[in-house]
Amino acid sequence: MAVSAVTCLLLLSGCASRQWNQPITGSTSARTYRLSDQHAGDNAKDVFVILAFSGGGMRSAAFSYGTLKALRDTEVTIHGKTRSLLDEVDVISSVSGGSYTAAYYGLFGQRIFQDYERDFLLRDVEGEMLSTLANPSNLLSLASSRFNRGDLAAQWLDNYIFEHKTFASMSRDGLPYIILNASDLNTGMTFSFVPQQFDFLCSDLNAYPVANAVMASSAVPGIFAPISLHNFDENCAQRRQEWVFRALNAGTGKDRNYEVARELEQYFRPGDMPVIRLVDGGVTDNLGVRGSIMSPILHYGHATRMSGAFTAAELDQIVDVLVIVANAQVYSPYEWSLKGKDPGLIDMIFASFDASLNLLNSETIQRAHQNFQAWADIVNSRRAPRAAKVRVHFVSLTFDDIADRSERQKFNAIPTNLSLTHQQVEDVVALAPRLLDRSPEFHRFRLTLP
């Protein structure tokens, strides 16, 4: 009996399944992907630079890439040594579209300036993913409960963008430390792809594919199915963290540590929560600053050590903290609205998603700025009267900063899907250096450098 090529492909695809996270074992690598384990290299000890990349599809990926280019081309002199400001970046935290750029830079470093535009930004990623989803060879896999649209998209990213790399390869040459953020549907919290978060699942982040983390960070509900993680039932020591029990015993509903500890406590009962479902990080924090950098999960309940970045001795040396938020937030009207067209289903999903995020973004920026300043005030209050005080420089780059109304409207009309025209990519990449150069706070930071 003759068997068609399509049938053969269907049969072959039947064994496809998602790439699950792995448990912590005795053979788990001793190298952990924690900020405190990263090599600072030549980074100045008294300057700490944080980048936050927002969501916003391909336009966010292009905008964050433009921010990296701007910092690469900005020379600073610190303690008599001149170097690129990009070399001083310590942490990059990202969500959704910004995670493509953050992950690529974390894995491949300076190579991003050679091939990222060609291999990702200028590529019809959305079209290629849709073709993959519609390929008959994938139909049987997608019909299985073991494999969904999010898994297939992650597989595409793994094959064509991230070269099958795991977190064991992330930032191997040292800083910057990359924090990719998704949202946990079970708890409603930001889920950061860091060892401290995986510890609560008794899972090994080193073995986890970076592509899956990026897909989880950008899995817009309604477009992509969630990315799933096992919550292992092993009673591993990593799960039982003292600060969580301390917060649960002593905290109240108004205490940040208590709120986070109460949600984390759900992970302690794998029988009740055997699988974690992750979606777009923008659902909980579309700027990548509120849920991760200041989270007790990273600093073990010691807020002054921000992201686990500092020992007590290192904290005493910090003077200048620069935070740059590359915010590709969408402001209406959309292109289809300007042209008098009816939105399609995908347009409506993205517009609804954007609307909910926009309500939170302004508040998030303000609160993030306040949080960093409050952190600096606490650190300064513990320093000797004549000791240098911490200065926080908070820079927010957004399309709404474009002075010309018609140009601002043009940029806001750029869609947040995963396919842009070459001209749109070129324009968005070029916009970031312009906005950074116009930032008064950025120039104040440069003037205060030692």
> For the segment 217-275, what is each residue's pLDDT rounded down to a tens digit?
999 888 888 999 999 977 788 888 888 888 888 877 667 888 888 888 889 888 888 99
| pLDDT score recorded for residue 432 | 97
Peptide linkage before 333 cis (omega within 30 of 0): yes
Dump the DSSP string for 40-67. Answer: -TT--TTEEEEEEE---HHHHHHHHHHH
| pLDDT score recorded for residue 302 | 66
What's the mean pLDDT in 48-67?
Answer: 96
Higher pLDDT, residue 311 or 55:
55
> For the segment 346-369, what is each residue's pLDDT rounded down to a tens digit?
566 656 555 555 555 566 787 888
What's the mean pLDDT in 121-141?
Answer: 79
| pLDDT score recorded for residue 33 | 72
Helix axes 210-217, 149-160, angle to 10 degrees: 130
Categorize the per-residue pLDDT at 54 as very low, low, confident or very high, splitting at 50, 70 and 90.
Answer: very high
Categorize the per-residue pLDDT at 285 as very low, low, confident or very high, splitting at 50, 70 and 90.
Answer: confident
Other Cβ atoms less than 10 A from the Cβ of 196: the count is: 22
Q: What is the CATH number of the domain that holds 235?
A: 3.40.1090
In three-state secondary structure terms, 256 is: helix
| Max Cα-Cα span within the chain | 89
* Nearest Cα to Cα of residue 239 among 21, 22, 27, 24: 24
How far, in Å, CA of 235 to CA of 87, rounded? 40
Q: What is the tally of structural domains in the chain? A: 1
| pLDDT score recorded for residue 200 | 93
How far, in Å, CA of 112 to CA of 107, rounded? 9
Categorize the per-residue pLDDT at 17 as very low, low, confident or very high, splitting at 50, 70 and 90.
Answer: low
Instruction: Share the mean pLDDT of the chain.
Output: 84
pLDDT exceeds cutoff 70 at 402: yes
Range of the domain at 197: 5-448
Whether the CB-CB separation of 20 and 230 falls below 8 Å is answered with: yes
* Secondary element (H or E) of residue 326: strand 320-327
| pLDDT score recorded for residue 304 | 61
- Distance, CA of 355 to chain centre: 20
Categorize the per-residue pLDDT at 323 as very low, low, confident or very high, splitting at 50, 70 and 90.
Answer: very high
**Tokens 């950061």 -> residue:** 192
Dump the DSSP string for 353-414. Answer: HHHHHHHHHHHHHHHHHHHHHHHHHHHHHTS-TTSPPPEEEEEEEEGGG-SSHHHHHHHHTS
Give the angle 23-27-28 at the CA atoms, nearest 5°. Answer: 55
| pLDDT score recorded for residue 136 | 67
Q: Which residues share a beta bridge with 52?
A: 93, 325
